[in-house]
A and B are shown apart, each in its own frame.
Chain A
């Protein structure tokens, strides 16, 4: 929001606003812009998901709406908005209605601290990483609310799996971000990316080249996929056993909110990974560009889509085993290791 405030300072004096009104207007503009970006990202990501999956299965995917089906997701979005608004008769009406808003709201408010390019974070929060970990818990609660409110046994199973999965994977997500944070000495996302500048080819200082952070990067990405319920960890909505899990009763606009939230979260996880581990906007040959940062995020998202159409789903006990017996111990070891690293190589 600071850059909006600064932009307003450059207006002619007669047009300048101050006080709470100016503050409210800049906040609303920042939120509106972020909302637009989230929707655009989700539209393009859904299209990419369909095209990539089609290619992997030797199909062509959507081809008819627009050039190579580029407008297909837009058409789908319009269709979802025009659909009848259904609430099942036995559902808990208030929980059923609030749940999609909570899920999308949780994914959306995380974007508040995310720099969209260098120096353009809506709110450049000093403890951005903690904020992101905090907001992700809203999504899990929204999913539980949806599962309970639908009054459907498959939804309920999906919700219970979400609760277990989220409680478990919250821990390795935080643990595996810590080594890079310890190296950078900051919890601010912009500062984290900036601390990785310089070195050979503007790449040598990336956190990922540290042996402990190298492991943590992959573990963080795995935990992130699990927290966003992506395949191979999409047990809460596994279609072969639970039909569609927690959102089986949802249709139309409410379903669209779940869909939007999934891609908003996927982008968030990819963006955090590229900011914290891959140097953000710092790139090879001394380049420093926001396009580079976006490219990294898109590559990470592509990897997530790639994994979805390559790997089969985990079993629930394998999922829990992976978290508690592998990711968490490794996270603790990595934190200890990076502590020794800083002690012996930095001081």
Chain B
């Protein structure tokens, strides 16, 4: 299996590169793992960027971790954004970059007015159903407020 994955990775499949890196990582060959994660990241395969950042984070290499978490955050990855806030809460440039990503998503968690009409239309089940989207919005709001607490100057009107 490992050989065929290697073949696919060499042909250029970033998903196979990521898998290969995972195998090296489990085997303790961290440098090889990093190499393949980095290759996949170069091909714009962002899940690999997050794994690479995780390795640097565990090694204590903060600047590299930040670089790759930044890449991973581009797809609004909650964990990557949270790590960025943890690593460099006062770096205004990076924080405003994260805020921009968050603001690009739908972060509305309130039902707005007229809940009665909604209840009459859908029954209360609709209200009780916990949609993954709403859960994510709550997390994004939490991160956003954390950033604003550290950097009040980033608060926009």
Interaction A to B: no
List residues of chain A with CB under 8 Å of any chain B CB: none
